Amino acid sequence: MRACGQAVVIVGVAAAGLVVPVLAVVCTVLIVGQLFDQGPLGLYAAVPSATVVGVSTLYWFVRRGAGWTRWRVGREAGEPWRVVYSPREALEQDARGFWWTGVSYHRRQEVARLVQFVRWAVRDHQVQREGAWLLANPVGVVLLLGVPMASLWGGLVFMGSATVDSRHFFGLNSQPLNLLFSTLIGGVLAAAGLSAMPWAVRMHGAFACRVLGGGPQPSRAQLTERVAQLTETRADAVDAQAAELRRIERDLHDGAQARLVTIGLTLGTIEHLMAPGQTAARELLAEAREASAKALQELRDLVRGIHPPVLAERGLPDAVRELALTAVVPTEVTVSLPGRPEAALETAVYFSVSELLANAAKHARARHVWVDVLHRAGRLRVVVTDDGLGGARMEVDGGLRGIEKRLGTFDGTISLDSPVGGPTTITMELPCALSSPRTSTSSARG
């Protein structure tokens, strides 16, 4: 009987999800029409009003219907059905007073919040699945619950109407025997529907798991915890690697470089102190001093490749500007960072921009490059655009794929737009928390 009660509620929820929004739209149109006395303005007021009411009611049933289904299936399974929606990033207000939604600016905060909510609801995968469930649920009810419910209620009606309907079985005119046969047939149909109802309800729950995605599985919480552990472990590994590279850079800078500088000065002093007649020895000392100078330069280049000093001392904005100044192609840099990213992320972005500038000069044959670095809604966004030949592709072993792997360590993404003939636009986005609230907005050309 419990399964029968659940089936009745399931049918009611499925029907309400389709019928109530339609009734809400019809009632809104009638009410607005009465308010305007069926005048010409009534149509212009009824359409937006009905749209707002219909969409709001439909969204309410989409979320509540899916939520009730998850609760019911989770209660039957004895495990909660956890669902994770994509986060809605906080609105940010710029210096001009406009609100940034992630794609557009708006003067009024309410409008920006509405635009952000609509964009989130349309793009979120869970909301999309819930919308699909609103349409699939009636189909599942008809296919899975329809036969057992028809058998149950048909059998009950068949038994209940036996006394008022003149039925004859096997040509018998005996009222008691015909009533007995009606009761037996109706009872068998009702019993068959009643026994099949729990199975139908379980199948409806399995169908809901397939459409809504996931389900109340015991390992789901463990999997979520494991993902969190792996994310934390990866962050610790990245921080440890960055700290080790900085330690190597400091050791090379304070140790080997200092000793090479001392050796070069000593060789230069000995060369000046030697007698004028010792030409061969002076030439050997000069060669040794030049070799030490070359070794020092190579070591400095190595240190710079490990962790550029300007990146450690001045941060990502000045490091990117230095890349622009030393680039082969004239480069314009625009930076807007209200703070400083973490060191490991700065390093990844720096070397990615460095490689993209090199590609623009080497492969794209660009005449000008633009680099935009900004932070919006908790994400660091770097856009590199050149006016080169275009036609760039994400090849398997190419440099862009290497940049994608480097950014993937920080859950970053890279997108490429490079039609033949140019221009080429490469966008890198990474989740980023800044360390200080100061504001830095500037431009530079190299």
Residue 305 tokens, joined:
């490749």
Nearest one of 379, 384, 381, 374 to 418, comparing CA atoms = 384
- CATH assignment of the domain containing 439: 3.30.565.10
Same domain, 258 and 160: no
CB-based contact 96:88 (threshold 8 Å): no
Same domain, 261 and 286: yes
Residue 18 tokens, joined:
């389709």
CB-based contact 418:391 (threshold 8 Å): yes
Q: Would you say residue 225 lies in a domain?
A: yes
Instruction: Give the 3-state secondary structure of residue 412.
Output: coil
Which of 123, 143, 174 corresponds to the end of one domain? 123
Assessment of whether the complete model's pTM goes beyond 0.85: no
Q: What gap in Å lies between CA 215 and CA 208, rounded to an integer?
A: 9
124: left (phi over 0), alpha (psi -120 to 50) or beta: beta
Q: Would you say residue 398 lies in a domain?
A: yes
Q: Are strands 424-431 and 99-100 parallel, antiparallel or unpaired?
A: unpaired
Residue 38 tokens, joined:
């069926």
Same domain, 342 and 294: no
Report the chain (446 residues): mean pLDDT per 10 consecutive residues. 79 86 86 72 76 87 87 81 80 82 83 86 87 88 86 81 64 67 81 86 87 68 62 60 58 60 69 64 68 66 61 82 87 87 83 87 87 87 89 81 82 88 88 64 53
In the chain, the number of structural domains is: 4
* Residue 85: DSSP 8-state: P
Same domain, 138 and 173: yes
Same domain, 54 and 93: no
Strands (E), 70-132: 92-93, 99-100, 105-106
Same domain, 32 and 132: yes
Residue 253 tokens, joined:
């800078």
Which of 207, 239, 259 corresponds to the end of one domain? 207
Same domain, 186 and 80: yes
What was the pLDDT predicted at 105? 85
Residue 285 tokens, joined:
């000392």
Same domain, 165 and 59: yes
Residue 392 tokens, joined:
């760039």
What was the pLDDT predicted at 390? 85
Sheet-wide strand order for 99-100? 92-93, 99-100, 105-106
Which of 306, 337, 355 corresponds to the end of one domain? 306
Domain that holds residue 153: 2-86+127-207
Same domain, 71 and 94: no
Q: Would you say residue 212 lies in a domain?
A: no
Q: What is the dihedral of CA 72, 75, 79, 81, to 10 degrees?
A: 20
What per-residue string of b and e applies to 185-223 under the rule 16 or more CB within 10 Å gives b?
Answer: bbeebbeebbebbbebbeebbebbbebbeebbeeeeeee
What was the pLDDT predicted at 439? 41
What was the pLDDT predicted at 194? 85
